[in-house]
């Protein structure tokens, strides 16, 4: 995607009395201990010029940074390396940010995405000083977001001041995919009037009081977006098992008689599973995506006419995927909708549509508890993101993961997870390359048998069975040998 193809003259992007300043001037106006709420979700749509100017300013900064989902290296690498971040909410993906959090250099608080807008707008975590956002156009009291929306409308409402970056590398026509709807505040919040994943109930712009605007700067810097690996043999086997499960479920469940609503978690496995749907026969059913992120695999399904609607809060695409979308934005806008994250992840709407949610994890234990975020129960990897929103509220919440890690050296099916993000009551089905464990309606002991027989790697099944025998000697509804729960790969 070249600037010649997609850049627009300033008069098409900047309207009213708005004037442009350089990023260094705007960065200098930010107090050293400010709380900044930034746009960005799925490593796209985040501000770049102002964070870079802050990182390069040589100031002694102790910033609190709030984003929605993941952002790029300008924030979570450069500002971290500059020692400029003191506190971080609620998600990150870079090795530098992860290391600083695990070493206690950055205070980190995680949060479910569906709750984040309320938590910030109502001041339950922090008071936002300045919202710094990326846009493709701006007027005196409005702007058009770029490739993601996330909690940005709530951040703008909560912030005392606003800085906007116009990204000239992106097409102005992105406005056509946005549907910005703001729910009212409790206790007078009305039901969200969304009755179909493709329906539009809001506007294409985010409004703000004109007096909040500190300034506008321009950039052509592109996102540090996703790079998806080629599907592995395990990915393909997981996909085959998922499709087999879906075929039976869609045939038997009356909810899916006319339409199917799907959601997939972000990442290479999720993208591979999306792509595998191209080989699936949904019959004459309408097929929609109602989730958090749109990845390259969904573009394939839209291009092939296998998907009717893709609704999310972020276009978490690779660079190639961004080019593809932006070069044909008018066509994609007919089927793609971006919403604020408190709509895309809203529990009532996810439940209303009967979504089949497919998310991954680090590990799952024999009884169905899921660890999505912490290696060894102690070291943060990323954050919970929206997985809890869908695991708790989807009609059929599925966890998909490979049965082992580190080339088979580690089992990801374990007796007891050392950190619990999703409880046994949240998950209905677990799928690995080994098979499918349908846990619905089963007792804990029955769940354990299903997990060993259908999800664990054969090399670890004997050790898991021995653990269960030891655990059952002590009885209990959920048998555990707590002295051996994390040291279970041995005889006895």
- Angle between helices 268-276 and 233-252 in degrees, nearest 10: 50
Nearest to 440 by CA among 426, 453, 420, 461: 426
* Cβ proximity of 152 and 340 under 8 Å: yes
Q: Is the peptide bond before 187 cis (omega within 30 degrees of 0)?
A: yes
Nearest to 182 by CA among 158, 206, 211: 206
Nearest to 68 by CA among 98, 44, 87, 100: 44
- Pairing label, strands 396-400, 370-371: unpaired
Give the DSSP H or E segment for 215. Answer: strand 213-219
* Cβ proximity of 52 and 46 under 8 Å: no
Distance of alpha carbon 488 from alpha carbon 470, whole angstroms: 10
Residue 319: CB atoms within 10 Å: 14
- Angle between helices 296-303 and 268-276 in degrees, nearest 10: 10
* Cβ proximity of 91 and 345 under 8 Å: no
Nearest to 113 by CA among 83, 90, 137, 87: 90
Residues acting as catalytic residues: 292
Give the DSSP letter string of 243-271: HHHHHHHHHH-GGGSSEEEEEE-SSHHHH
Tokens of 462: 């004997």
- Angle between helices 296-303 and 319-326 in degrees, nearest 10: 40
CA-based angle 299:152:391, to the nearest 5? 60
Nearest to 345 by CA among 309, 379, 392: 392
């Amino acid at each position: 995607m070249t600037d010649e193809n997609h850049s627009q003259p300033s008069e098409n992007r900047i309207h009213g009395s708005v004037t442009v300043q350089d990023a260094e001037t705007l960065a200098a106006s930010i107090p050293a201990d400010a709380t900044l709420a930034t746009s960005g979700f799925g490593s796209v749509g985040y501000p770049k010029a102002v964070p870079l100017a802050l990182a390069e300013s040589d100031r002694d900064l102790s910033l609190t940074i709030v984003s929605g989902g993941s952002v790029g290296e300008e924030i979570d690498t450069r500002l971290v390396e500059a020692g400029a971040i003191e506190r971080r909410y609620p998600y990150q993906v870079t090795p530098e940010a992860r290391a600083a959090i695990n070493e206690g250099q950055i205070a980190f608080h995680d949060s479910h995405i569906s709750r984040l807008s309320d938590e910030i707008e109502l001041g339950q975590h922090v008071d936002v000083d300045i919202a710094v956002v990326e846009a493709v156009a701006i007027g005196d009291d409005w702007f058009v977001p770029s490739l993601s929306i996330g909690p940005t409308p709530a951040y703008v409402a909560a912030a005392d001041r606003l800085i906007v970056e116009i990204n000239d590398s992106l097409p102005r026509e992105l406005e056509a995919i946005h549907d910005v709807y703001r729910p009212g505040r409790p206790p007078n919040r009305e039901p969200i009037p969304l009755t179909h994943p493709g329906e539009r109930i809001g506007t294409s712009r985010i409004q703000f009081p004109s007096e909040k605007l500190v300034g506008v700067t321009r950039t052509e810097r592109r996102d540090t977006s996703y790079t998806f690996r080629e599907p592995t043999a395990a990915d393909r086997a997981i996909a085959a098992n998922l499709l087999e499960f879906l075929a039976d479920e869609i045939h038997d469940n009356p909810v899916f008689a006319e339409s199917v609503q799907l959601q997939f978690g972000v990442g290479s496995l999720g993208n591979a599973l999306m792509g595998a749907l191209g080989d699936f026969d949904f019959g004459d059913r309408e097929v929609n995506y109602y989730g958090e992120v749109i990845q390259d695999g969904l573009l394939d399904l839209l291009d092939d006419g296998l998907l009717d609607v893709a609704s999310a809060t972020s276009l978490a695409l690779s660079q190639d995927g961004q080019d593809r979308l932006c070069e044909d934005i008018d066509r994609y806008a007919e089927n793609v909708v971006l919403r604020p994250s408190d709509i895309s992840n809203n529990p009532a709407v996810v439940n209303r549509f009967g979504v089949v949610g497919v998310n991954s994890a680090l590990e799952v234990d024999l009884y169905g508890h899921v660890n999505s975020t912490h290696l060894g129960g102690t070291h943060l990897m990323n954050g919970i993101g929206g997985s809890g929103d869908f695991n708790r509220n989807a009609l059929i919440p599925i966890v998909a993961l490979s049965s082992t890690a580190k080339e088979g050296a580690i089992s990801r099916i374990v007796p007891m997870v050392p950190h619990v993000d999703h409880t046994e009551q949240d998950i209905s089905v677990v799928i690995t390359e080994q098979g499918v464990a349908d846990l619905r309606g089963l007792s804990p002991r029955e769940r354990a048998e299903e997990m060993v027989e259908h999800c664990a790697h054969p090399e670890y099944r004997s050790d898991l069975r021995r653990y269960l025998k030891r655990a059952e000697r002590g009885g209990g509804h959920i048998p555990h040998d707590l002295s051996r729960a994390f040291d279970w790969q041995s005889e006895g």
